[in-house]
Amino acid sequence: MQQQKQERFLKLYKGVHNRFERFCRARACGDMPYEDLMNESLLVAFQKIDQLEKESSFLSFLIGISRRLLANHRRKQKVVAAADETLLLNYADPDDQVSRQQNVAFLHKALTFLPEAQREALILFEITGFSVKEIAKLQDSSEAAIKQRLSRGRKGLATVIKNKLQLKTGDTL
């Protein structure tokens, strides 16, 4: 019984692993190690797999658990998200042939400057590949609100990147 359950769970998880990992890396940045978040989320999801109504919504199920775990973690730690300035300075201009990993780390750090809702909406939309409708369901908001969040999030991110790049190079964009 347990074996069957585990097999079913892993079969479901295999299809969404990459997207889930990307979400956790972007979302947990500055809060907790993303591996821990993934681990805990998977464990909780495994225990509550019976509550999953549709297999197609497994990724949403996982992400919902991750969000709650992150919220609980923050509440316990009471850590004010403070971006690490030093990492931001490691941004490599995409025109240059610098490693992608460095840029991705820069993006994750830059995202931590945004408000939670905007950050999450941007991660879900741009990185995880969710639709506006799915994000609206996850965040319990209207689609219009999600679009607004995405727009404001992009603007905020642009401002952050602009400021940090100025900080690094001393030039204006």
Nearest approach, Cβ of residue 129 and another protein (Å): 7
Q: Which residue has the tokens 């969404």?
A: 16
Nearest approach, Cβ of residue 120 and another protein (Å): 14
Q: Which long-range contacts (CB under 8 A, 24 or more apart) does 80-88 make?
A: 81/30, 81/31, 81/112, 82/30, 83/30, 83/109, 83/110, 83/112, 83/113, 84/30, 84/109, 85/167, 88/164, 88/167, 88/168
Residue closer to another protein by CB (options 53, 171) is: 171
Residue closer to another protein by CB (options 75, 134) is: 134
Q: Which residue has the tokens 């991750």?
A: 66
Distance CA 74, CA 80 (A): 8
Binding site for another protein (CB under 8 A): 2, 6, 9-10, 13-14, 17-18, 21-22, 25-26, 35, 38-39, 42-43, 46, 94, 100-101, 103-104, 106-108, 110, 126-127, 129, 154, 157-159, 161-162, 173
Residue closer to another protein by CB (options 22, 137) is: 22
Nearest approach, Cβ of residue 44 and another protein (Å): 11
